[in-house]
Amino acid sequence: MAGPAHEGYHLGYRSIPTRFDLPVSSPLYNSALSRFVEIIKIHQGSIEETRMPKYNFERFFDLSPDMLCIASLDGYFKCVNHSFQRVLGWKLEELISQPFIHFVHPDDVAATVSEIEKLGKGISAISFQNRYRCLDGTYRYLRWAAFPEKETESLFAVAHEITDLMEIIERLYLVVEASPTAMMMVNRNGAIQLVNQAVEQLLNYSRGDLIGKSIEMLVPTGSRIRHQQDRATFFGNPQMCLMGAGRYLNAMRRDGSEFPVEIGLNPVKLSDEQYVIATIVDLTRQKNAEEKLTMLAKDLEEANKKLLQLASTDRLTGLRNRGAFDEQLDTQIHLLKRMGKPLSLIMIDIDYFKQYNDKYGHQAGDEALKTVASLLSKCVRSSDTLARYGGEEFVIILPNTTKSDTMQLAKRLQMVIHHHSWGKKRLTISLGASTLTFTENALAITAEDFIYNTKLLSEADQALYYSKINGRDRAIHFSEIENANKST
């Protein structure tokens, strides 16, 4: 009476039907039927000890819409009800006179015999199906629940016709199998019911490895509990699709390797049972492409930073170049004018550098420039901007720095260069400084900003010139020149 529903897939039907119907009367009725009723009552959860009149059982047995029977382990029906004749077309006498295996589809015989052998060992068969031949030569799918009775060597069975359901499933199977996308069907308990060839290829499992197994076997260990919770939530309200289309997860192949997938879920109801058909899309290539894109974007960003750095850096000294200095000076003027804070500037020139360069050569001159740049860099703040202004000239932007603080730094720089241990010849520097003081809350950008820029540079340059004509190796602020001019 048992057999596979279809080779390659299996549906997990409910083990106990919602409606119980009983078999026809026969000479064995008195001994077997009472035991049959007791078994049915047990599986219905009934523990009543009430004894119903015999004629009520017979009538219930006769009118049952389900197919009820008592069979023997020798392969014959002992009794069947009229639903067998209604479904299969055979007279009851014809069904009882021949071995029931005679009516089973040839492809289901081996599996049916296997189930009978299990029943003979006292193992109940809950929810299995096979095909029975009708009088007109066609076949009907039957779903069985069978229970062995050792005392009488009898089998008590209830069958329900599921041909229409199986035809629906067959069509569903063909659609799923034809899909180039990996698809599988899972019941509410998480048992895999159906898979197509694309699933086998994607996960490196055969159908036999997957059918009837838990879907969680395909989920990485660390995510299984969460997946079980999400599955329970989904089946509680399939329309919510908490696990639904567009969810990104990691799946696990037979060899344990993990890979990213996108899961789409479609709820399906078959014979009052809720299932879900899941589509599985491998995102490995997409993820790899995204990672490569991210790496390329990062590399591009780094390259742009390097290009920007190269474009704004003096190649010899590693300091900011003239272009970067001009841009930073404009920025600081806008910022400090709005804040109402002072902005100072120091211009620096290496004394007699041309003679040094001519005497010791350009290579020695380059080394001297790098040494001066290094010494100056060690004295300025991180908020200051030190740049090579051109040739042997350097410049420092000092945001939020007063005249007195500017001169303290200038004199310190002058002394650092003066007292440095120069190998060939002592080098000194001349420095000129200027300071702008802004009114608080001034407009950030105005036409006067260019004037401020020019004024600051011009005054620092004049102060530098004054340092040179007054003996070099010294630092002078522009305000000192103004005061000297006023006194004369």
Encode the chain (488 residues) as per-residue pLDDT tens digits.
433 333 333 332 222 222 222 233 333 333 344 444 454 444 444 434 444 555 567 777 778 888 999 898 888 999 899 999 999 999 999 999 999 999 999 999 998 888 888 888 888 766 678 999 999 999 999 988 888 888 888 888 999 888 887 888 788 888 888 889 999 999 888 999 889 999 999 999 998 899 889 999 999 999 999 999 988 888 888 765 544 445 788 999 999 999 999 988 888 887 678 889 999 999 998 888 888 888 888 888 888 887 877 788 898 999 999 999 999 999 999 889 888 899 999 999 999 999 999 999 999 999 999 999 999 999 999 999 999 999 999 999 999 999 999 999 999 999 999 999 998 889 999 999 999 988 765 555 455 666 888 999 999 999 999 999 999 999 999 998 877 666 65
Kindly state which CATH superfamily the domain 179-285 is placed in: PAS domain (3.30.450.20)
Q: Look at residue 122 in the predicted model and tell me its pLDDT.
A: 82
Only one residue has tokens 């920007």, namely 308
Choose, from 392, 448, 459, 482, the residue flagged as catalytic: 392
- 179-285 shares the fold of 29-162: yes
Task: Identify the CATH number of the domain defined by range 29-162.
Answer: 3.30.450.20
* Element of type H or E holding 372: helix 362-377
d(CA 275, CA 12): 10
**pLDDT computed for residue 216 by the predictor:** 94
Q: How far is CA 48 from CA 22, 32, 40, 145, 148, in A?
A: 17, 19, 12, 22, 21
Span 313-487 CATH architecture: 2-Layer Sandwich (3.30)
pTM here?
0.46
Nearest to 69 by CA among 4, 142, 10, 14: 142
Known active-site residue 440: no
**Arithmetic mean of pLDDT over the chain:** 82
Q: Give the per-residue pLDDT at 372.
A: 96
Strand order in the sheet with 67-72: 77-80, 67-72, 154-161, 139-149, 125-133
Domain regions of the chain by residue span: 29-162, 179-285, 313-487
Amino acid at 470: N
CA–CA–CA angle 426, 410, 475 (5° rounding): 70
